């Protein structure tokens, strides 16, 4: 086994243990929330008989360890149970919602990576210029603006005032524009600031001076020599931002009526739909772990000095 | 090989994963604690192509687009528990009877009915020549199958107890059914107007996506046929060319799911949908001034009140409870906080319920309130007051205003709030552990009959058995409610409810607040939009305005 495959296997094992831990924590957490799921599902007008019946359907009348064992046993077989709210299999519900969230998060991540790195490089290269100032101010905005507010403002401007873009939904290609920029705003700003400071550090390094002294073209110096080194911390941030994007998707999807997992998670939490909340958190966790693994592998590509043993 | 072991780096990234995961779990908890409750069920119309700037986009389109606030948990009539979901299902699935705006029962799939003298046998005559969307006939066998399904424990119907009195259903002939009850249940016919008792094609449970236990593609007899659903986004239905009744104007209706009220409003203002429910309430005045849209503040049957824990001292004293009622200026709160979206209560139920009779409202009279408190010997009273946020129109804001009014008569009752499931758990706490003195609540019967309203004053329904969360107990009221539940003579029944209402009004187990209005907003170029008092829009027969 090469050291790299060894490393991957090790990481996968760690991921598995993490997932088991998460399954336990999320199982407990949802049950620690106050509120009776059966009553929430039945509604206020339902009689106590109805509520008791629903409790039995959901298996909530059994002791907690038994409930966890059932949940875990099913999970191992890839069965996340039946949603208490929709009466449909949890996995099927998640799979129909997953693509919309992944598309939104991926597009947002791409926008954040592209615009953030571009803005950061420009700001660093033209340090203390008007451009640098403008970029710094707008990143400050991007970091401090609440997603909810930004989304609504974009809707008012582009849908209500200008009639250019749809305010909600996902069926038209133009439907992606507002939600993905809303979701990306924070990450664009964060990546731009990271890139700028990281670039500034690198641009002052000896090897950059050496590269310039060798008479290399300025673009080669900046993009090949400086940027590549400056990107290492930035890639970490972009990777971690994916987690933030999944979290942000909860709000963005609610504002834009986006048919993804974020909206499903909100609906399920309010319905105290234990199986669905457990399922969604597990799927989010799997995605997060995967993205982090990819980020680690990317390091090696960006910085050939990094090897895994 | 030039092998670099950069362990710290790797460990670093793993711990970052944990940090991120912990963040995810924490945000989950926070979300549960603070996120706003979703508004009523949303639906989203498609047709984004028409999003262009024309001021009145719907008129030329043959699609009618509606935005609602919740993503339906189910489209199975038997399994549904929320009004907006019923509102969508009723485009496709019809019931045996319907209630009109005033609570009178009207024929639908049943044309007439008779009740036996003992109130235990109901005979219903069905409409002839009606077929389901799949071409199968709607007849006594089909209706019996549906009612049997509702009662079948295999079908996890949340609201089954409404129909608990039904013992047996029999198909007498092709178009006659008989329903046998185990005990008299006077509102039976009214309860059959619930979308829960919607009649679907028995054959349709074998369709792809459907099962006997759960139907995702409802096949009924209604004016529209289910076409497509994208969960969390939209439901599309098309006009039924073979509909037995008056055919609607629009070829297609799209329900768009938009949980955020401000986004629903934007969709309407941008002309991307034709009708929305529940816009942001603070925008009502602006919408009313906007000539592009029309605002319908529909009367509803939802009473809004503050339940008083009648077991806690000194709230067990009727004078104190009456004082609370005199202390609050309801008119002023309706005007200033609810933007006119309510009517003050003048009975312990909404005026559109069968069994309502008008009583003398508690006027705003702080002096009288203070006098009553003094008479009861109450001084320096502090009360534990809770209200939900975002569940009812301006609930928390109204509760804060009420808290100020109570302060003016010397009662300290600061309001606190919590998310809905926690709230329900708190108010349903049994008396020995219940520390809440006042809680803000809304109550809306599913069908326009006092029977479900009176559960709020019937002492056997107090927690943990039910949601009579004021723990109010007046044996005379309990007796009257029981008698009314069995009485089949409508006039006598109404009188029993009237008598009970008078006693309840006097005993004041609630701070009687208002009947909430249900805001429906639609494009001004649309006509034929109406409402049903169970917080529903009725837009099946919407059409372009001339």
Cβ-nearest to A257 among B10, B256, B464: B256
Query: Which of chain B's residues have a Cβ under 8 Å away from the Cβ of A57?
Result: 156
Mean pLDDT of all residues in A279-297: 85
CA distance A114 to A180: 13
A264–B232 CB contact, under 8 Å: yes
Judge if B65 and B116 occupy the same domain. Answer: no
Would the CB atoms of A159 and B266 count as touching at under 8 Å?
yes
Question: Sign of the CA dihedral A281, A253, A235, A174?
Answer: positive
Which structural domain, as residue segments, surrounds residue B511? 303-516
CB contact under 8 A, B79 and A87: yes
> Cα separations (Å) of B258 from A133, A242, B217?
38, 25, 21
Domain ranges of chain A: 3-76, 97-303
- For chain B positions 263-302, those within 8 Å of chain A (CB to CB) are 263, 266-267, 269-272
CB contact under 8 A, B425 and A152: no
Residue A1's pLDDT is 54
Total domains, chain B: 3
CATH number for the domain that contains residue B393:
3.10.105.10
CB contact under 8 A, B25 and A29: yes
Query: In angstroms, what CA-CA distances link B241 with B129, B247, B252?
Result: 15, 8, 12
Does the beta-carbon distance from A93 to B262 stay under 8 Å?
no
| Residue B109 domain-assigned (yes or no) | yes
Q: Which residues of A touch B260 (CB under 8 A)?
A: 152, 254-257
Contacts of A277 in chain B (CB under 8 A): 28
Cβ distance of B428 and A160 shorter than 8 Å: no
Instruction: Looking at the structure, tell me whether residues B55 and B173 fall in a common domain.
Output: no
Phi, psi of B167 (to 5 degrees): -100, -40
Q: Are residues B73 and B123 in the same domain?
A: no
* CA dist., res. B139 & res. B217, Å (int): 21
Residues of chain B contacting A44 with CB distance shorter than 8 Å: 424, 443, 467
Of the partner residues B6, B28, B263, the one whose CB lies closest to the CB of residue A255: B263
- Answer yes or no: is pLDDT of A135 > 60: yes
Residues B152 and B55 in one domain: no
- Quick one: closest CA in A to B40, which residue? A267
CB contact under 8 A, A45 and B74: no
Q: Quick one: closest CA in A to B73, which residue?
A: A86
Is residue B100 situated within a structural domain?
no
Residue in this structure with the two tokens 């109901």, named with its chain if needed: B122
pLDDT class for A215, splitting at 50, 70, 90? Answer: confident
Of A182, A283, A31, A268, nearest to B35 (Cα)? A268
All residues at 6 or more sequence positions from A40 whose CB lies less than 8 Å from its CB, including other chains? A270, A271, A272, B420, B421, B424
Q: Which residues of B touch A26 (CB under 8 A)?
A: 25, 28
The tens digit of pLDDT for each residue in A179-213 reads 999 999 999 999 999 999 888 888 888 888 888 88
**A35/B420 touch (CB, cutoff 8 Å), yes or no:** yes
Residue B279 lies in a domain: yes
Nearest to A45 among B49, B418, B452 (CB): B452
Enumerate the residues of chain A whose CB falls inside 8 A of the CB of residue B426. 34
> pLDDT tens for residues B492-521?
999 999 999 999 999 999 999 999 999 999
Would you call B13 and A170 a contact, using CB atoms and an 8 Å cutoff?
no
H and E: helices and strands count for chain B: 14, 23
pLDDT value at residue B2: 37
Q: What is the mean pLDDT of each run of 10 residues along chain B (546 residues)?
A: 35 45 49 38 37 42 89 92 92 95 89 93 96 96 96 84 90 96 91 94 94 94 96 95 95 95 95 95 94 95 96 95 97 94 96 93 96 94 94 92 96 92 88 94 90 93 87 96 90 95 97 96 96 94 92
How confident is the model at residue B40, as a pLDDT? Answer: 36
Burial B112-128 (b: 16+ CB within 10 A, else e): ebebeeebbebbbbbbe
Residue A211 tokens, joined: 């590269």
Q: Flag whether residue B545 sits within 8 Å of chain A, measured between CB atoms.
A: no
Written as one string, the DSSP assignment of B503-545 is HHHHH-SEEEEEEEEEEEEEETTEE--EEETTTEEE-TT-EE-
d(C-alpha A309, C-alpha B10), whole Å: 10
Name which of B14, B160, B421 is nearest A272 (Cβ-Cβ). B421
**Which chain A residue is nearest to residue B423, measuring alpha carbons?**
A35
**From the CB of residue B484, how many other CB atoms can be counted at a distance below 10 Å?**
24
pLDDT at A307: 62
Distance from CA of B380 to the nearest CA of A (A): 32
Size of interface A-B (CB pairs under 8 A): 258
The distance of B395 to chain A (nearest Cα, Å) reads: 17
For residue B137, is it within any domain?
Answer: yes
> A36, B425: Cβ pair inside 8 Å?
yes
**Do A168 and B263 make contact, defined as CB atoms within 8 angstroms?**
yes
> What are phi and psi for residue B300, nearest 5 degrees?
-130, 180
Residue B187 in any domain: the answer is yes
Q: What is the CATH number of the domain that holds B289?
A: 3.40.190.10
The answer to whether B42 contacts A257, with C-beta atoms less than 8 Å apart, is yes
Interface with chain B: mutation pick from A167, A246, A247, A297, highest number of B CBs within 10 Å = A167
CB A39 to CB B428 under 8 A? Answer: yes
Q: Nearest CA of chain B to the CA of A51: how many Å?
A: 8
- Given a cut of 50, is residue A102 above it in pLDDT? yes
Whether residues B454 and B473 share a domain: the answer is yes
Chain B residue with minimal CA distance to A24?
A: B25
Domain presence at residue B98: no
Pairing mode, strands B411-412 and B381-382: parallel
Those residues with Cβ within 8 angstroms of residue B424's Cβ, 6 or more apart along the chain or in another chain: A35, A36, A39, A40, A44
CB contacts of B216 in chain A (<8 Å) are: 88
- The CATH classification of domain A97-303, taken from the options 3.20.20.150, 1.10.3720.10, 3.40.50.300, 3.40.50.12780: 1.10.3720.10
C-alpha distances in angstroms, B89 versus A290, B41, B156, B220?
Answer: 41, 12, 18, 9
- SS3 letters for B318-372? HHHHHHHHHHCCHHHHHHHCCCCCEEECCCCCCCCCECCCCCCCCCCCHHHHHHH
Q: Which residue of B has its CA nearest to A307?
A: B4
Can you give the pLDDT at residue A248? 81
Same domain, B77 and B109: no
Cβ neighbours, 10 Å, residue B411 = 23
Chain B CB contacts of A247 below 8 Å: 23-24, 27
Same structural domain for residues B337 and B394? yes
Task: Find out whether A208 and A236 touch, Cβ atoms under 8 Å.
Answer: no
Taking the CA of residue B257 and the nearest CA in chain A, the distance in Å comes to 6
B210 in any annotated domain: no
Same domain, B341 and B481: yes
Cβ-based contacts of A270 with chain B (< 8 Å): 35, 37-38, 419-421
Longest CA–CA separation in chain B, Å: 98
> In angstroms, what CA-CA distances link B276 with B225, B248, B256, B296, B534?
21, 19, 9, 11, 16
Mutate to test the interface with B, among A11, A18, A45, A288 (most CBs of B within 10 A): A45
Is residue B99 in a domain?
A: no
CB atoms A243 and B38 under 8 Å: no
Q: Provide the pLDDT for residue A306.
A: 66
Please give the pLDDT value at position B226: 97
- Nearest-CB residue to A26 (from B9, B25, B266): B25
The HSE-up count of residue A219 (CA atoms within 13 Å, CB side) is 0
* pLDDT, tens digit, 9 for 90 and up, residues A239-252: 878 877 887 888 89
Check CB contact under 8 Å for B233 and A152. no
Smallest CA–CA separation between A128 and chain B, in Å?
33
CA distance A43 to B158: 9
- B430 & B499 share domain: yes
Separation of alpha carbons A182 and A257, rounded Å: 13
Last residue of one domain, picked from the residues B176, B204, B232: B204
B491 with B364, same domain?
Answer: yes
Predicted pLDDT of residue A304? 67
Q: Which residue of B has its CA nearest to A8?
A: B10
**Token couple for B459:** 């002492």
Q: Give the integer Cα–Cα distance in Å for A212 and A42.
A: 72
Query: Would you say residue A272 has pLDDT above 50?
Result: yes
The pLDDT value given to residue B27: 47
> A171 and B4 in contact by Cβ < 8 A?
no
Residue B426 and residue B539 in one domain: no
Give the CATH number, domain containing residue B169. 3.90.76.10
Contact list in B for residue A253 (CB cut-off 8 A) is 232
Instruction: Indicate if B439 and B499 belong to the same structural domain.
Output: yes
- Cβ pair A236:B259 closer than 8 A: no
Burial class (CB in 10 A: 0-12, 13-18, 19+), B201: buried
């Amino acid at each position: 086994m090469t050291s790299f495959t060894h490393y991957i296997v090790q990481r996968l094992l760690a991921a598995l243990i993490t997932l088991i831990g998460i399954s336990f924590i999320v199982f407990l957490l949802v049950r620690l929330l106050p509120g009776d799921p059966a009553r929430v599902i039945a509604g206020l007008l339902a009689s106590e008989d109805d509520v008791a019946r629903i409790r039995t359907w959901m298996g909530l009348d059994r002791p907690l360890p038994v409930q966890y064992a059932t949940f875990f046993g099913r999970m191992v077989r890839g069965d996340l149970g039946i949603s208490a709210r929709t009466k449909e299999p949890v996995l099927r519900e998640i799979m129909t919602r997953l693509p919309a969230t992944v598309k939104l998060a991926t597009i947002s991540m791409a926008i954040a990576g592209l615009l953030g790195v571009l803005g950061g490089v420009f700001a660093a290269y033209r340090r203390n210029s008007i451009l640098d100032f403008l970029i710094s101010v707008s990143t400050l905005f991007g970091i401090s603006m609440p997603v909810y507010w930004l989304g609504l403002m974009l809707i008012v401007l582009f849908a209500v005032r200008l009639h250019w873009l749809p305010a909600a939904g996902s069926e038209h290609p133009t439907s992606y524009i507002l939600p993905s920029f809303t979701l990306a705003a924070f990450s664009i700003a964060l990546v731009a600031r990271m890139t700028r400071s990281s670039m500034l550090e690198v641009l002052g390094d000896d090897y950059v001076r050496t590269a310039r002294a060798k008479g290399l073209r300025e673009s080669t110096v900046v993009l090949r020599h400086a940027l590549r080194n400056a990107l290492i911390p930035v890639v970490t941030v972009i990777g971690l931002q994916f987690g933030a994007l999944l979290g942000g998707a909860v709000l963005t999807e609610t504002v834009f009526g986006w048919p993804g997992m974020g909206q499903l998670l909100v609906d399920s939490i309010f319905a105290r739909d234990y199986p669905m909340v457990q399922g969604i958190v597990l799927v989010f966790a799997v995605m997060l772990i995967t993205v982090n693994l990819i980020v680690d592998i990317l390091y090696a590509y960006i910085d050939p000095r990094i090897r895994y043993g | 090989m030039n092998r670099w072991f950069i362990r710290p780096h790797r460990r670093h990234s793993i711990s970052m994963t944990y940090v991120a995961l912990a963040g995810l779990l924490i945000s989950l908890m926070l979300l549960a604690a603070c996120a706003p409750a979703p508004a009523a069920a949303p639906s989203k119309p498609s047709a984004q192509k028409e999003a262009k700037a024309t001021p009145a986009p719907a008129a030329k389109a043959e699609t009618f687009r509606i935005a609602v606030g919740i993503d339906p948990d189910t489209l199975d009539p038997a399994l549904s528990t929320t009004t907006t979901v019923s509102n969508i299902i009723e485009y496709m699935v019809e019931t045996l009877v319907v209630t009109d705006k005033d609570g009178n029962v009207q024929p639908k799939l049943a044309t007439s009915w008779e009740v036996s003298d003992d109130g235990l046998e109901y005979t219903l005559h069905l409409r002839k020549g009606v077929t389901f969307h799949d071409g199968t006939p709607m007849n006594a066998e089909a209706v019996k199958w549906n009612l049997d399904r509702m009662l079948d424990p295999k079908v996890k119907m949340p609201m089954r107890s409404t129909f608990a009195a039904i013992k047996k259903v029999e198909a007498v002939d092709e178009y006659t059914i008989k329903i046998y009850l185990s005990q008299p249940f006077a509102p039976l016919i009214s309860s059959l107007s619930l979308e829960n008792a919607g009649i679907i094609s028995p054959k349709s449970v074998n369709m792809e996506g459907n099962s006997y236990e759960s139907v995702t593609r409802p096949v009924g007899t209604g004016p529209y046929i289910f076409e497509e659903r994208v969960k969390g986004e939209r439901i599309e239905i098309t006009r039924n060319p073979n509909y037995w009744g008056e055919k609607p104007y629009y070829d297609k209706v799209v329900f768009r799911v938009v949980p955020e009220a401000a986004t629903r409003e934007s969709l309407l203002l941008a002309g991307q949908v034709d009708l929305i429910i529940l816009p942001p309430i603070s925008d009502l005045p602006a919408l009313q001034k906007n000539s592009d849209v029309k605002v319908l503040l529909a009367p509803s049957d939802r009473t809004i009140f503050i339940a008083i824990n009648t077991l806690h001292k000194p709230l067990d004293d009727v004078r104190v409870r009456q004082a609370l009622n005199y202390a609050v200026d309801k008119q002023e709160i309706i005007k200033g906080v609810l933007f006119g979206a309510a009517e003050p209560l003048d009975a312990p139920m909404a005026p559109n319920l069968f069994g309502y009779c008008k009583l003398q409202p508690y006027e705003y009279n702080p002096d009288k309130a203070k006098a009553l408190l003094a008479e009861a010997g109450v001084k320096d009273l502090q009360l534990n007051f809770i209200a939900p946020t975002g569940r009812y129109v301006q609930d928390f804001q109204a509760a804060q205003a009420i808290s100020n009014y109570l302060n003016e008569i010397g009662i300290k009752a600061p309001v606190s709030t919590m998310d809905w499931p926690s709230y329900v758990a708190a108010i349903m706490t049994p008396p020995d552990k219940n520390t809440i003195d006042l809680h803000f609540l809304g109550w809306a019967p599913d069908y326009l009959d006092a029977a479900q309203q009176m559960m709020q004053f019937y002492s056997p329904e107090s927690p943990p058995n039910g949601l009579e969360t004021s723990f109010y107990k007046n044996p005379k009221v309990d007796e009257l409610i029981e008698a009314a539940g069995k009485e089949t003579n409508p006039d006598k029944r109404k009188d029993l409810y009237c008598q009970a209402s008078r006693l309840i009004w006097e005993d004041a187990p609630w701070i009687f607040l208002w009947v909430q209005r249900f805001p429906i907003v639609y494009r001004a170029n649309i006509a034929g939009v109406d409402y049903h008092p169970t917080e529903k829009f009725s837009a099946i027969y919407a059409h372009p305005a001339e």
